[in-house]
Structures are given as C-alpha cells and as structure tokens.
Structure 1
Amino acid sequence: MKSPRPGGTENLSVSMPSELLGALRTRTGKRGVSAYVTAAVRHQLAMDGLAEIVAAYEAEYEPLSDAEVQAAQSELFGDAPAPYASNDSAA
C-alpha cells in the first residue's frame, strides 16, 4: 500500500505543449514546477468561482453594465490594466 505524501499531496501526470513546458521550467527551475502549477490551478479555480458568482447574479437580476465592470476592475486593480481583460463576458 502506498503511503500518503506529506501535506496530503498526490502525483499527477499532465500533458502540455513542449514550448509551454520549456517556458515553465525556465521560469521555475525543475523543482519549482509543482508549486507554480499548484498556484496556477488555485488561481483558475478562484476565477471560475468569481465567474459563477457573476453568472448567478446576472441570471437573477440583469447583466452587469460596462460601467459596473470597469468600477469593479478599478477597485480590484487600481489604475493598472486588469489581467486577462477582454470585451468578452466571463463564462
């Protein structure tokens, strides 16, 4: 029987394009890949949760206006451009 790893972690095999993996290893070093991918997955899950909150709000009330979206971006990011900003609505 396989003993659990410290911190409740598990191994996972992931396929990705070679150039993406090369850029990842260049940025993190070989030992930093797991931490970087873990942070990226946590971030994406948080973004997915926010998108679900917005979708639920818009389903119950009405779509957010451009002004409301811009006000939220300003509150979150200040004068800096919002990361991943686009004119498409979040899914």
Structure 2
Amino acid sequence: METPRSGRTRTTSISLAAETLEAIRERAGKGGVSAFIEEAVRHELAMLALGEIVADHQARHGELTPAEIAAAEAELFGAPRDSSAAA
C-alpha cells in the first residue's frame, strides 16, 4: 500500500494499544507502520469530509431519499448485486 506524499513530512509521537500496533505491524508490509497509518488517516479525513458534504447537502435540501442513496452507492461501488440471483 503506497501512499503518494506531497510536501515535507514531520515526526510526531502517538500512542496505540499494544494489540493495535502489533496488528498494524503484521499487515503493514514493506511500506511500514508510518505508511500504513498515513493511509488510514488520509482515509478517515476523506470520510469526515464526505460526511460534512452530505450534512451540508441535507441542511440545504433535506434528507437524502433511498433512491438518492442507492444512486450514490451504485456510482461508488457499481450496481448492487441481486441477492436472488445468487442461489
């Protein structure tokens, strides 16, 4: 998992539960712990920004309808699978 880096990096100290750090180390691969955490934080920041966009939209236009949610999911993840076809 390689994350493009822009600009300078800075060092900081964080505390993690021992089990969390061990799980990261087991899964981090050659990118290492820092790259793994960088990617996770970037993802979380993107999800928070998306939540802000949705909240702003809903404040201006009302709650999203099930059809709007389904359309967004289809655009993000592709057409939903028909569960009745997988038998």
| Deviation readout 1:19-65 (Å, 9 max, x if unpaired) | 11111001115861101111111111111111101100100110101
The Cα of 1:67 is off from its aligned counterpart by 2.1
> TM-score when scaled to structure 2?
0.74
Query: What is the letter of the counterpart of residue 64 of structure 2?
Result: L
Aligned length in residues: 75
Give distance in 2, aligned partners of 1:31 and 1:75.
Answer: 30
- Structure with more of its chain in helix, by fraction: 2
Deviation larger for 66-75 or 47-56: 66-75
1:77 aligns with 2:57: no
Aligned to 1:33: 33
> TM-score when scaled to structure 1?
0.71
Give distance in 2, aligned partners of 1:77 and 1:62.
Answer: 24
Runs of 4+ aligned residues of structure 1 deviating over 6 Å after TM superposition are none
- Percent identical among aligned pairs is 49
The Cα of 1:8 is off from its aligned counterpart by 1.2
Query: What is the letter of the counterpart of residue 28 of structure 1?
Result: A
Aligned to 2:64: 64
